[in-house]
Structure 1
Amino acid sequence: MKLLATLALSVALCGLITPVATAEPRGTPLRQAASVDRVTMLTERRAAVFVNSPAMGRVIQVQVLLPTGSTPRPTLYMLDGAGGGEESDYRESTWTQKTDAVGFFADKDVNVVLPVGGTGSYYTDWKRPDPALGVDEWETFLTEELPPLIDARFHGNGVNAIAGLSMGAHAALNLATRHPAMYGGVAAFSGCADNSQSNSKLSVRATVAWKGGDADNMWGPDGDPDWAANDPMRNAEALRGKEIYVAVGNGVAGPSDSPTTTEGLSAITLGAALESAALHCTQLFDQRLRQLGVPATFHYRPNGTHSWPYWQQDLHDAWPTLARALGR
C-alpha cells in the first residue's frame, strides 16, 4: 500500500490539471431543481445529455447508451477511474473510449449512464470547493439530481445498479452502501474499499493529489467522521441482499500487457504496483463480507495490471451478476 501511495503521489507531482469553475459552497440551499439543458444524439442509440446541476453550479455531461424500443427498462451507472474522461479531453467517458462497452450493451435491454468528468473526485460530495478541482458534489448529482431526469427521458423503471473501476470502484461501493435503497447491485474492478487504515487513507490522498486536489477539502483531516462515513469496508453491512461482483488482478503482466507501447510500459510498471495494492484491498474486503455473511462473487484474475483491457473483460464477466440486479 505504501508503494501505491508513493507511486501515485510521484505521478501527481509531475502533472497538472485544468481548474474547474467554482460554484456555491456545500450547504447552500438549492434554488432550483436539476434540469436537462440539451440532448445531442451522437448516434441513434447514444445520447450526450447535458444537465444543469444546481449542486455543482454548472452543466454536467453524461452519455447514455440506449436499447431499442421504448418500454420501461432498468439503468446501469458506470463510473470512471481517477481520470474521469480526461483521456478524451472530456468528450466522453473512458469506458466508451477504451473498451467495447458500446458494442457490448447493444443487445441488452438497459440504459447505461456514463458520467463525463469527476477527475480525482471519488464521485463524492466534498466539504468545500478545491482550488484545483473546483466544486464536486457528485454524490448529490448521481443519486438525487440525475436519476429522475434519466428515467423520465429514457423510459427508466426505477431499477438501478452501479459499477466502477479503480477510484470509481471505491465510489460505486460507497454509493451502494450510502444509498442501499437505490441500487440492487454493484460491481467493482481493481479498487480499494477501505478508508480506515493509514495506508489506505494515504492512497486516497495520493490519488486526489495526482489530479491536483487536496483530500482535506473532500473528507477533511484523517480523523474527520467523513472518512468513516464514506468507508465501504466499515459500512459493508448495507450491501446485504444486493448482487455484488468484485474483480482484481495481481499485478503480474498478462497477455494484454505489452512493453512495446508507452501505455503498455506504464501498465507493466506503475500499473503493476497499483494492481498489487488493489489485490490486497480486495482480499481484505472479501474477508469482511465473509465475516458479515454477505454473499458476493470475487474473481481473482491469474494475472493482469491496472489497465483497461482487463476492465473490459471484467465488465463482460460481471454482466450476469449485474443483469440479475437489474432484473435482466
Structure 2
Amino acid sequence: MGGATASADPGAHVAGEVPLGGRSAQIDVYSPAMGRVIQNKVIKAAGAGAPTLYLLTGAGGGADGISWWDNTDVRHFFADKFVNVVMPVGGAFTLYTDWISDDPGMGRVRWETYLTQELPGVIDGALGASGRNAIAGVSMSAASALDLAIQSGPRFSAVAALSGCPWAADPLGIAMASAQAVRGGGNPGNMWGFPGGPGWRAHDVFANAGRLAGKTIFLSAATGLPGPKDRGMPMPPIETLAGACTAAFAGRLGQLGIPAVHVHRPTGSHTWGQFEADLHEAWPHLAAAIG
C-alpha cells in the first residue's frame, strides 16, 4: 500500500495561483481532457511530503458558493494537520465522471480523468506531496467518491461517502443518477450511454464494490430528523433517502466481507452542520490510511 508520487499528464499544469490567506490558495489547473482551466481551493500542508485529501462538494459543484470552503470550518479544522486538502470548483450535476459524449447543455465532461489522472500529478509536483491520497464526497458527490475510488485502482487509499446515495444500474439508481444530469441541463444518455447498458453497469458501485477491498471506507448518513448538529436549511427527505442508500451499501460491503465504518446518525437533515461533523469523524480513519 506504499504511495508513489504521481506523474502529471504532460499537458496538465498549474495555470495560476492566487493566495487566499495563511496556507490556503486557489490553484488553477489546466485540464487537457476538458480543454479548460479548473479552479481548486487548496489548504497546503506545512511542508513537503504530506498526503492529500481530495474533497468533493455537492450538486452545485461549489461554483454556486455552496461548498466545504464556503460553509464549513475546513480551514480551521485542517490548519494543524499535515495534509494537503484540495477542493475542486466545478462539476455541477456531472456526477464527477467522464461522459462518453459532449453534451449540448454540459459541454465536455471528463471529471474522472481530471481527478484521477491529471490533478493528482500536478498537485504532487507543485506541493511535493507524498502520493498518498484519500477522496471524500458529500450528497451528490458521495457516490461519485466511491465510484472514483473504484475506477482509479490504487490512486486513493481511502474514501468517505457522506450523506449520499450510492447507485446501482437498476431502475431506481438510473432514475436518481439521471435526475442529477437533467437538473444541470444534460442528457443522461451522453453520460454513460443507454440507461442500464454497459456504461451504467461499469459505474454501478454495488456491482463493483469488491474493487474497494483493501481501502479504508467511511460511510455516514442520518435519519432526516433535524438535530443539534444541523446548520442551514434542513432537507429531511433527501437525508432519509441518503440514510437508506448508505445503509444498503454498507450491507453490500458486509456481504463481501469488506470492512467499512458506517455511521448512521439518529438525527441530521442534510445540512452543512451535519456534513461538517461527519467530516470531523471521518478524518481520523482517512488519516490513518494515508499516513
Ranges in structure 2 where 5+ consecutive residues have no aligned partner: 1-8
The aligned counterpart of 2:18 is 40
For 1:245, the aligned partner's letter is F
For 1:126, the aligned partner's letter is W
Shift of 1:256: 4.4
The aligned counterpart of 2:285 is 321
Q: Distance in 1 between matches of 2:100 and 2:78?
A: 36
What are the within-5 Å matches in structure 2 for residues 229-248 of structure 1? Answer: 229-248=202-221
The aligned counterpart of 2:136 is 163
**Is 1:149 equivalent to 2:127 in the alignment?**
no
Equivalent pair of 2:28/2:39 in contact (CA under 8 Å): yes
Q: Distance in 1 between matches of 2:284 and 2:38?
A: 30
SS of residue paired to 1:115: strand
Paired residue total: 283
1:170-215 Cα offsets, whole Å, 9 max, x none, are: 1110011111211110001011112222112111111221222221
The aligned counterpart of 2:3 is none
Q: Distance in 1 between matches of 2:45 and 2:196?
A: 45
Equivalent pair of 1:64/1:114 in contact (CA under 8 Å): yes
Shift of 1:132: 1.7
Shift of 1:257: 4.7
Ranges in structure 1 where 5+ consecutive residues have no aligned partner: 1-30
Q: Distance in 1 between matches of 2:203 and 2:159?
A: 16
Cα RMSD (Å) = 1.5
1:29-49 Cα offsets, whole Å, 9 max, x none, are: xx9611111111112301111
Q: Distance in 1 between matches of 2:80 and 2:133?
A: 18
The aligned counterpart of 1:62 is 40
For 2:22, the aligned partner's letter is E
Shift of 1:223: 2.6
Q: 2:251 aligns with which of 281, 287, 309?
A: 287
SS of residue paired to 1:175: helix
For 1:146, the aligned partner's letter is L
Q: Distance in 2 between matches of 1:301 and 1:311?
A: 11
Greater Cα radius of gyration, structure 1 or 2: 1
The aligned counterpart of 1:82 is 59
What are the within-5 Å matches in structure 2 for residues 179-328 of structure 1? Answer: 179-257=152-230, 264=233, 267=234, 271-327=235-291
Shift of 1:164: 0.5
Which region of structure 1 is more displaced relative to structure 2, 271-280 or 241-250?
271-280
What percent of counterpart residues are identical? 45
For 1:84, the aligned partner's letter is G
4+ residue stretches of structure 1 with deviation over 3 A?
none
Equivalent pair of 2:41/2:69 in contact (CA under 8 Å): no
Equivalent pair of 1:188/1:245 in contact (CA under 8 Å): yes
Q: 1:174 aligns with which of 147, 150, 156?
A: 147
TM-score normalised by L of structure 1 = 0.83
- CA change 1:106–1:257 in 2 (3 A) is closer
Greater relative CO, 1 or 2 (CA 8 Å, sep 6+): 1
For 2:20, the aligned partner's letter is L
Q: 1:111 aligns with which of 63, 80, 84?
A: 84
Equivalent pair of 1:166/1:189 in contact (CA under 8 Å): yes
For 1:156, the aligned partner's letter is A
TM-score normalised by L of structure 2 = 0.93
Equivalent pair of 1:194/1:234 in contact (CA under 8 Å): no
For 2:115, the aligned partner's letter is L
Shift of 1:221: 2.0
Equivalent pair of 2:167/2:177 in contact (CA under 8 Å): no
1:118-146 Cα offsets, whole Å, 9 max, x none, are: 00011100011222221110011111111
